[in-house]
Amino acid sequence: MKIGKTGRIRLSEEEHKKLRHEVLKRDGWKCQMCGTSTNLHIHHLLFRSHQGSDIDSNLVTLCAECHASLHRTGSITMVTACE
């Protein structure tokens, strides 16, 4: 029996929006690298291309600049909450 590669299940647009909102809320609507609250993206810690899933523990909020930097350098430095 030959076992082929199976595709990952993609979230529906509605499920994706809900998950994105939950991650943004969890992260205080701030980039977890620099702390800015503008131009926010959701980043997969383990990339989907490496079998990373769309669960909140695999997602982090980053601004566009930090997100691009992360993909260039491959490293992430998280800010810590002051509260």
**49 is written with which tokens?**
């291309």
Is 37 within a domain? yes
Is 18 within a domain? no
Is 21 within a domain? no
Domain coverage including residue 62: 29-83
* pLDDT tens digit sequence for 55-81: 888 899 999 999 998 888 876 666 544
H or E segment to which residue 13 belongs: helix 13-26
Is 5 within a domain? no
Q: Domain count of the chain?
A: 1
User: In whole angstroms, what is the distance from residue 54 CA to residue 46 CA?
Assistant: 10
* pLDDT tens digit sequence for 27-53: 999 999 999 999 999 988 876 666 667
Predicted pLDDT at 51 = 64
Residues with Cβ within 8 Å of residue 27, at least 6 apart in sequence: 60, 61
Is 4 within a domain? no
Is this model's pTM higher than 0.95 or not? no
Is 65 within a domain? yes
* pLDDT tens digit sequence for 3-23: 544 556 677 889 889 999 999
